[in-house]
Structure 1
Amino acid sequence: MPIHGIGIDILHVPRLAALIERRGLSKLASRILSPVELDAFCSLTSQSENKRALAANERGPTEPIVRFLGVRWTVKEAAYKALYPLRPTWKELTYTSFDAKKGLKPELVYASLSPDTTPAKLHVSASHDGEHIVATVLVEQG
């Protein structure tokens, strides 16, 4: 298959943490996550709050929550670059991460709300280390 495009993005996690402090965790999550991702996010935040007994705004989000949002932010930014001139919305892109138990590798799905958009095969890789998250997306033409 011919390649439509490739995109890469890098995120400095403290920048995202500052954005979360300014905008609010729930507001940012509902803005950038697809419905499937938002369900996973709500499950993660519920587990985190139960484990650590955090109040809603007591100490801010925990590191796994920021990383969850950061990976999806970075993957979607890389996808925008790879899909150009198509312009997906945040919610039209859904990223599911690696699941060793189920034997699933990371996946990115573009569910366009426009019937004119040709579906494309997306290949994704994301990695995080310390304060940085990086993602690449390769798009095959449909």
Structure 2
Amino acid sequence: MSLSKSVSFARAAISNAAIRNIHGLGVDLVYVPRITALLYRKPVYLAKFSQRILHEAEYVRATSMIDCRERHDLFIARCWAIKEALFKSLDNGRQSCFQMRDWNTIDPTSSRPTVSGGSINKDEAFFVTVTHDGDYLLAAVIRGQSEEMSQ
């Protein structure tokens, strides 16, 4: 996809996401085999790592996927990348008290990535997108003012 098409796509996505003013942008690229290596270097590390970074709902979903190692690793990498991108989109004050496990990236009503929990202000909106190809997964988060609150 060309850069001009990517920019057009991003503008359309922002319009559709009901974000009026952009206050932050975060992007994170994850090499999925690195996450796999971290998760399986010691058996006890998988549980500790997962509990440290995953929200309760994400932890439940991750445990249900553990038998399918590839999907499980990709899910953990997805959560990590979204939360890293989210962290980068926040201002310094909110970054200082950021805890990954306080944020949920699962939308119970669809398979689309989302951000909930944490310390979302009532006038904030987040646009989240994730893509992966082979061993790489990329997440982007745009933080802005909610369309409804600005009217």
TM over 0.5: yes
- Provide the rounded CA distance (Å) in 2 between the counterparts of 1:103 and 1:14: 27
**Secondary structure, in 3 states, of the residue corresponding to 1:134?**
strand
Amino acid paired to 1:118? N
User: For residue 122 of structure 1, what is the aligned residue in structure 2?
Assistant: 126
Q: How far does the alpha carbon of each residue in 1:69-109 deviate from its partner, in whole angstroms, 9 at most, with x for none?
A: 00000010000001132122101211016x8xx65532111
User: For residue 84 of structure 1, what is the aligned residue in structure 2?
Assistant: 91
Question: Where in structure 2 are there 5+ consecutive unaligned residues?
Answer: 1-19, 147-151
- Provide the rounded CA distance (Å) in 1 between the counterparts of 2:52 and 2:41: 14
- Provide the rounded CA distance (Å) in 1 between the counterparts of 2:63 and 2:83: 19
Amino acid paired to 1:78? A
1:95 paired to 2:105: yes
**Secondary structure, in 3 states, of the residue corresponding to 1:22?**
coil
Aligned ranges for residues 4-23 of structure 1 at < 5 Å?
4-22=23-41
Aligned CA-pair RMSD? 2.2
Taking structure 2 as the reference length, the TM-score comes to: 0.71
The structural deviation recorded for 1:110 is 3.7
Question: Where in structure 1 are there 5+ consecutive unaligned residues?
Answer: 50-61
Partner residue of 1:107 out of 99, 110, 114: 114
Taking structure 1 as the reference length, the TM-score comes to: 0.75
**Secondary structure, in 3 states, of the residue corresponding to 2:121?**
coil
User: For residue 35 of structure 1, what is the aligned residue in structure 2?
Assistant: 56
Q: Percent identity?
A: 29
- Provide the rounded CA distance (Å) in 1 between the counterparts of 2:86 and 2:116: 10
Cα gap change, 1:130/1:104 in structure 2, threshold over 3 Å: closer, same or farther?
A: closer
Report how many residues are paired: 121
The structural deviation recorded for 1:36 is 1.1
Q: Is the 8 A contact 2:51 2:101 kept in 1?
A: no
User: For residue 57 of structure 1, what is the aligned residue in structure 2?
Assistant: none
User: For residue 9 of structure 2, what is the aligned residue in structure 1?
Assistant: none
**Secondary structure, in 3 states, of the residue corresponding to 1:141?**
strand
